[in-house]
Amino acid sequence: MNNIDLKRIPKHIAIIMDGNGRWAEEHGQERIYGHQNGVEAVRNAIEGAGEIGVKFLTLYAFSTENWNRPKEEVDALMGLLVKAIKNELNNLMHNKVRLQAIGNLDSLPAECQSELQDAIERTKNNTGLTVVLALSYSGRWEIINAVKEIIKNNVEEKDITEHHFSTFLNTHHIPDPDILIRTGREYRISNFLLWQIAYTELFFPAILWPDFRKEHLFEIIVEYQTRQRRFGKTGAQVKI
């Protein structure tokens, strides 16, 4: 943490929390054991981001494709989500964390929707880090949904710009990610924030999600601060 320039902290970090199932298998346990232990990694990521002044942290918790997993695993994940929200609410309040969510939330079980909305309502006035849970979410779903909304609102072709299009996305209220982290020893985006990560810096630490700690987050931010973000310009232009 001492190597981090606190004047150049990324505003928004997104994380694909991959590797829970394989972590459990490596420990001779059922897959849900990995998801249970992944909660500690979530806690570390939230605490670490909050400590250094990150404004937004988006966590890919459950994709639309994850509904295709075995029913017993999906049911266990939904139960774990409800339990985690209940257990972590006091910590969120204590650390002034605001909780939000993106995705097709209506597809979640009723109890999940209830606990999630209660936590969102109770933390809405918190002024610290905003944690965004991506639940029943996928980038393609979000883009298609935005197109449907544009059609429904009779938006004229001449008015459709990148900025206007982005106002129809789930993430219209938050900046695009500066950093995308994927654990799990995989090197793909898996349908996550496809529109928003056009110029995001990508990091693939060679660990499984339950092993992720705030120190890993700090190491990534240190490396991020050595990179030059050009957004299509030349290096000379950026230095000017």
What positions carry a catalytic annotation? 18, 66
Q: Find the angle CA(189)-CA(9)-CA(91) to the nearest 5 degrees.
A: 80
Separation CA 149–CA 227 (nearest Å): 37
Separation CA 92–CA 47 (nearest Å): 10
How many angstroms separate the most distant Cα atoms in the chain?
A: 58
**Strands 56-63 vs 98-102: parallel, antiparallel or unpaired:** unpaired
Separation CA 129–CA 92 (nearest Å): 9
Contact 105, 145 (CB under 8 A): no
- According to DSSP, the residues that pair with 137 across neighbouring strands are 63
Among residues 66, 118, 55, the alpha carbon closest in space to that of 88 is found at 118
Separation CA 199–CA 14 (nearest Å): 13
Side chain identity, residue 159:
D
